Structure 1
């Protein structure tokens, strides 16, 4: 089980933390400390409002080199907080969190700790919204952490139901993946070739650490984690939304279409005209629509 230590909201380089927000240090199941921020809903009506413990909480999973205090993450949190309570956090190796980034593998434990914190605050519904790397993480998390009573029959798949420590309190009630890859090791675009250089080369990892503030694990995946497209069929019966820009420079449109196809009709697919990649490209209108979907799903 994860542990939580809370403190009053400390000063941030980005002054967008709302009054009443609280910061916490979460402990993952593999023993890492993860920084997290809880923000109550800022409006007075709607299914995500009321005191702590009421309604929906949206847990935001940022992209590679992001963090809880990055401007794009804070902007998303501000928009989402108009509809629901919001938890943002920094993945391992990012921001003030411990450890090193495994670029989508063990990050599922970080997300699980954040979801479990939302439930410990009393939220009845928790929706995970992930961007890019965070999008792959929310898909894997949705497959690995299941609600009590979920069976192969309710999932609609004959594959074995994966378990992850039996922590059913860490499951998501709905999942949103924005700008997520469908498969691992993709190098079909120039930005992804540069990213692989950063992750796999010693000099690249130095660039990641000192240029982007991201500490990257040097070890290769062993075993290779369940891929996003393999995860999608295991998310049902939880609702799934896949969002992707038609101008995404990292992952072309075959990625979201592959993910939606793997859902066998169990996912909504939004292809956004003119949108680039992940949280930096998501405008306020799109974020508002995602928030509305999250509280209604």
Structure 2
């Protein structure tokens, strides 16, 4: 799983704001085809809603073994669309996307392609909302892709000069994310590491969870979530975590919030489990309201 820098992202040829749902395939920065779905904002759906679909779009990054069409992702999209337009997509190795999962490394290219596509559809403000693995990806993306400065969109990304082409987020929401890589402190994470690192485990991932996993390890190791959290400001950051998360205990969100130096909002949710499957409509609505007011 080779860590790469992010380059120029080609945008869709779809003209500005579209009125109905749209499904397409986007090329990630390294050429991997990524399936993506655009849904306009629902008209007249509460405070802060943008009935014409203009302005804000929320780009949803699912967890490991998820996809754009999984019920929990569709539920999040439905709730978010009451406040803003929504882009969902499948990370590489998941759903109808190509390639193989690198479990959080090259996936930042997939997210950047989805963000750039949302801007190409006319949206001027993008909020990324990621769950579990997607939560770590939105943190790293928020650190690597920043708003263009006086010099334009050419920036230094992981030691290389890159052109971002509108792939930055204006606000970041990370739900149920790890703070550090290689964590094996819980039984679910030990099982996940077995699935990722063992040939038999990758077969289970492919046929049991419809997830194609890259067999190569990270080289180099990508920027960790806790390192990334300290680099996102001045963009607003929301960290959400359940106090019954079976994968990552509460020291993970607290480490992320501490790394942000007080610039992040931290929500520790009583009774919540892990990621999009545990995020109910009430929590998703609160997240959408936060996204619209920051």
Whether these two folds match at TM > 0.5 is yes
- How big is the alpha-carbon RMSD for the aligned residues of Structure 1 and Structure 2? 1.8
1:4·1:24 contact (CA, 8 Å) conserved in 2? no
Distance (whole Å) between structure 1 residues aligned to residue 91 and residue 254 of structure 2: 27
Match of 1:58 in 2: 58
**What is the CA–CA distance in structure 2 between the aligned matches of 1:284 and 1:173, rounded to whole Å?**
24
Structure 1 match to 2:9: 2
Which residue pairs with 2:128 in the alignment? Answer: 128
Aligned twin of 1:76: 76
Q: Which residue of 1 aligns with 2:284?
A: 287
Contact 1:47 1:55 in 2 (8 A): no
The residue number in structure 1 matching 2:4 is none
Classify 1:22/1:74 alpha carbon distance in 2 versus 1 (closer, same or farther; 3 Å).
same
1:36-47 paired onto structure 2 within 5 Å: 36-44=36-44, 47=48
The secondary structure found in structure 1 opposite 2:221 is: coil
Q: Which sits farther off after the overlay, 160-169 or 260-269?
A: 160-169
Q: CA deviation at 1:44?
A: 2.6
Tell me, yes or no, if structure 1 residue 274 matches structure 2 residue 271.
yes
Relative to structure 1, the CA distance from residue 149 to residue 2 in structure 2 (aligned partners, 3 Å threshold; closer, same or farther) is: closer
* CA-to-aligned-CA distance 1:83-106 (integer Å, 9 cap, x gap): 000000000000000000000000
Q: What TM-score do you get using the length of structure 2 for normalisation?
A: 0.90
CA contact (8 A) 1:143 1:232 kept: yes
What's the CA shift string for 1:184-235, capped at 9, x where partnerless? 0000000000000000000000000000000000000000000000001110
In 2: Cα distance, 1:5 partner to 1:243 partner = 32
Match 2:163 to one of 155, 161, 166: 166
The answer on whether the counterparts of 1:47 and 1:56 sit within 8 Å (CA) in structure 2 is no
The CA deviation string for residues 125-181 of structure 1, in whole angstroms up to 9 with x for no partner, is: 000000000000000000000101189xxxxxxxx8756722050000000000000
Number of aligned residue pairs:
277
The corresponding residue for 1:239 is 236
Distance 1:262 1:296 in 2: 23
Q: What displacement does 1:62 show?
A: 0.1
> Residue 37 of structure 1 aligns to a residue in which SS?
strand
Q: Secondary structure of the residue that 1:169 maps to in structure 2?
A: coil
Paired residue for 2:5?
Answer: none
Instruction: Give the 3-state SS of the residue equivalent to 1:216 in structure 2.
Output: coil
The equivalent of 1:156 in structure 2 is none
What are structure 1's unaligned runs of at least 5 residues? Answer: 8-18, 152-159
Structure 1 CA distance, aligned partners of 2:230 and 2:245? 24
The answer for the alignment partner of 1:86 in structure 2 is 86
Does the CA contact (< 8 Å) of 2:11 and 2:120 recur in 1? no
Aligned-partner SS, 1:279:
helix
